[in-house]
């Protein structure tokens, strides 16, 4: 039996809705084919965007979308992707599969996508191979309503008013694919680039500096020390890669030991996050700078027969459990975590949506975002979990993960039974209060079950296998399940 104790009087603050953010890069079939098919496609679309995919993104109230990369961002020159299609430059996407990028999806198309989805854009500018002027003029093109050649150019391209983009990334993984920079060098570059990203009128930028990968504490230290005062957010990337880079797992064919290793790596996100947050606390005790976990999720071997540079992987209940573990951690640390963006939205890595021609399938990970949506902008509640350990000698973790929040007088608890085979009884208590009634929804299946085209059985279902006893809620959680309980 596991216990969850919730205290309405203790909270880390508001769970930013941006924690439920996503990421779409010019990588494989994420943008092209997955989201954007062009106006002339036989796949139903609005201004080139797939209607089915946009509808699915809307249904989970997707709050923010990061673009154009990723590694692609530091090779992307925004002027190549504006104006008449026949004048747009073509390039080879050297990071991802060596395919030709025709720049048919550019700034106007991305912002049209965000309009259709109803989400905020988060754009990452090019530091690695771009100039300060190029970045500065992109911000001007997006956000200025003054009279200048750049603004006239935007108007000539069909957009009269500024868009008012708020979230602005200054380079991506500048320690790696973004330029192999040392932290001292990047900190100086960050200061210079961000200085020329102007604030236009009401449009105040939220500037995000490139932060560490994994446990590179020195990067965080140097950045906070040398540039902390001129950033609003610091990014952090961390992927779940069981077996490591050289022995990656198959996304669908894995053992129970692989499953435990995967979940233990995911749970370790909390330790890593806290390592960086503690350094940030020293330079920024008031927690003004947000931790922006703008790339996270599973990274497995690509599906057999697919382009290795496209990072296309299936998505099982194991991925769903990974998502639940991460989102519970982010909720608990909402005092520092302001945004998170799972990688990546469609057809890449831990995708929420997969497409094949005109077909679309929603993955188990998608349904976790559906189950967690009530946490957005809610007050986080202290949620203490007591659960036995599961796993192997090498990789173990508590068998239950949970988080809780309150909005409009209703409490939402998300809880998961991570055990792949055993059901678990979970008792939920509210400190100093009796629980009267509850309603629930659940996603459950075998650890390696997935939704395939034409055979998608996994989905969120109504859940009522619980009862109130002595003011507590006793929930019978099936093996490998994620539930939302509303009190």
Q: What x/- string results for residues 134 through 173 when contact with ligand AHR is judged by CB under 6 A?
A: --------------------------------------xx
Q: Specify whether 189 is catalytic.
A: no
Smaller CB distance to ligand AHR: residue 70 or 228? 70
Window of 149-157, 341-349, 383-391, 404-412 that interacts with ligand AHR by CB under 6 A: 341-349
Q: Which of 208, 227, 343, 376 binds ligand AHR (CB under 6 A)?
A: 343
Smaller CB distance to ligand AHR: residue 249 or 405? 249
Of the residues 295, 374, 380, 406, only one is catalytic, namely 295
- The distance of closest approach from Cβ of residue 473 to ligand AHR in the complex, given in angstroms and rounded to an integer, is 39
Smaller CB distance to ligand AHR: residue 295 or 380? 295
Q: Which of 109, 295, 370, 484 binds ligand AHR (CB under 6 A)?
A: 295
Q: Specify whether 295 is catalytic.
A: yes
Residue list 199-238, contact with ligand AHR (CB under 6 A): none
How many chain residues are in contact with ligand AHR, going by CB under 6 A? 10
Of the residues 120, 173, 189, 406, only one is catalytic, namely 173
| Using rule CB under 6 A, residue 319 touches ligand AHR | no
Smaller CB distance to ligand AHR: residue 78 or 299? 299
| Using rule CB under 6 A, residue 25 touches ligand AHR | yes
83 strand-pairing partners: none
Smaller CB distance to ligand AHR: residue 189 or 295? 295
- The distance of closest approach from Cβ of residue 170 to ligand AHR in the complex, given in angstroms and rounded to an integer, is 14
3-state helix/strand/coil string of the chain: CEEEEEECCCCCCECCHHHHEEECCCCCCCCECCCECCCCCCCCEECCEEHHHHHHHHHCCCCEEEECCCHHHHHCCHHHHCCCHHHCCCEECCCCCCCEECCCCCHHHHHHHHHHHCCEEEEEECCCCCCHHHHHHHHHHHHCCCCCHHHHHHHHCCCCCCCCCCEEEECCCCCCCCCCCCHHHHHHHHHHHHHCCCCECCECCEEEECCCECCCHHHHHHHHHHHHHHCCEEEEEEEECCCCHHHCCCCCCCCHHHHHHHHHHHHCHHHHHHHHHHHHHHHCCCCCCEEEEEEEEECCCCCCCCCHHHCCCCCEHHHHHHHHHHHHHHHHCCCCEEEEEEECCECCCCCCEEEECCEEEECHHHHHHHHCHHHCCCEEEEEEEECCEEECCCCEEECEEEEEEEECCEEEEEEEECCCCCCEEEEEEECCECCCCCEEEEEECCCCCECECCECCCCCEEECCEEEECCEEEEEECCCEEEEEEC
Residue list 453-472, contact with ligand AHR (CB under 6 A): none
| Using rule CB under 6 A, residue 109 touches ligand AHR | no
Smaller CB distance to ligand AHR: residue 71 or 142? 71
Residue list 43-82, contact with ligand AHR (CB under 6 A): 69-71
Smaller CB distance to ligand AHR: residue 99 or 385? 99
- The distance of closest approach from Cβ of residue 171 to ligand AHR in the complex, given in angstroms and rounded to an integer, is 10
- The distance of closest approach from Cβ of residue 173 to ligand AHR in the complex, given in angstroms and rounded to an integer, is 5
Instruction: Report the interface residues with ligand AHR, using CB under 6 A.
Output: 25, 69-71, 172-173, 295, 343-344, 349
For the annotated catalytic residues, the residue numbers are 173, 295
């Amino acid at each position: 039996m596991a216990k969850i104790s919730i205290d309405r009087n203790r909270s880390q603050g508001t769970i930013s809705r941006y924690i439920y953010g996503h990421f779409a890069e010019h990588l494989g079939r994420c943008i092209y084919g997955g989201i954007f098919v062009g106006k002339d496609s036989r796949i139903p679309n609005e201004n080139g965007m797939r209607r089915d995919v946009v509808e699915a993104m809307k249904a989970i109230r997707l709050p923010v979308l990061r673009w154009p990369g990723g590694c692609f961002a530091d090779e992307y020159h925004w002027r190549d992707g504006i104006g008449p299609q026949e004048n747009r430059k073509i390039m080879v996407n050297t990071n991802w599969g060596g395919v030709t990028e025709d720049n048919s999806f550019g700034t106007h198309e991305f912002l049209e996508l965000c309009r259709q989805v109803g989400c905020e854009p988060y754009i990452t500018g090019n530091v690695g191979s771009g100039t300060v002027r190029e970045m500065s003029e992109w911000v001007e093109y997006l956000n200025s309503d003054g009279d200048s050649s750049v603004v006239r150019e935007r108007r000539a391209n069909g957009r009269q008013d500024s868009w008012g983009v708020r979230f602005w990334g200054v380079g991506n993984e500048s320690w790696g694919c973004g330029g192999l920079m040392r932290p001292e060098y990047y900190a100086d570059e960050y200061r210079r680039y961000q200085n020329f990203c102007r604030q236009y009128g009401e449009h105040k930028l939220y500037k995000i500096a490139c932060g560490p990968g994994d446990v590179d504490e020195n990067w965080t230290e140097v950045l906070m020390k040398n540039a902390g005062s001129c950033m609003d957010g610091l990014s952090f990337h961390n992927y779940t890669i069981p077996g490591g880079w050289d022995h990656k797992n198959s996304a669908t064919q894995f053992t129970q030991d692989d499953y435990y290793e995967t979940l233990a790596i995911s749970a370790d996100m909390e330790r890593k996050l806290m390592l960086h947050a503690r350094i940030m606390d020293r330079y920024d005790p008031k927690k003004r700078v947000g931790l922006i976990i703008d790339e996270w999720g599973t990274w497995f071997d690509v599906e057999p027969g697919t382009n290795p540079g496209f990072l296309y992987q299936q998505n099982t209940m194991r991925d769903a459990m990974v998502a639940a573990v991460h989102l519970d951690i982010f909720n608990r640390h909402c005092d520092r975590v302001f945004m998170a963006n799972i990688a990546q939205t469609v057809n890449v890595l831990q995708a929420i949506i997969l497409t094949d021609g005109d077909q679309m399938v929603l993955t188990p990970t998608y349904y976790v975002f559906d189950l967690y949506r009530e946490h957005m902008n809610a007050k986080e509640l202290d949620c203490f979990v007591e659960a036995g350990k599961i796993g192997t000698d090498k990789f173990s973790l508590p068998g239950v993960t949970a988080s809780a929040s309150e909005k409009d007088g209703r409490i939402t608890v998300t809880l998961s039974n991570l055990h792949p085979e055993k059901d678990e009884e979970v008792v939920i208590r509210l400190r100093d209060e009796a629980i009267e009634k509850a309603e629930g929804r659940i996603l459950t299946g075998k650890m390696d079950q997935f939704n395939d085209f034409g055979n998608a059985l996994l989905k969120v279902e109504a859940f009522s296998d619980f009862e109130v006893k002595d003011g507590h809620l006793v929930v019978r959680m099936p093996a490998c399940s994620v539930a939302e309980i509303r009190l």
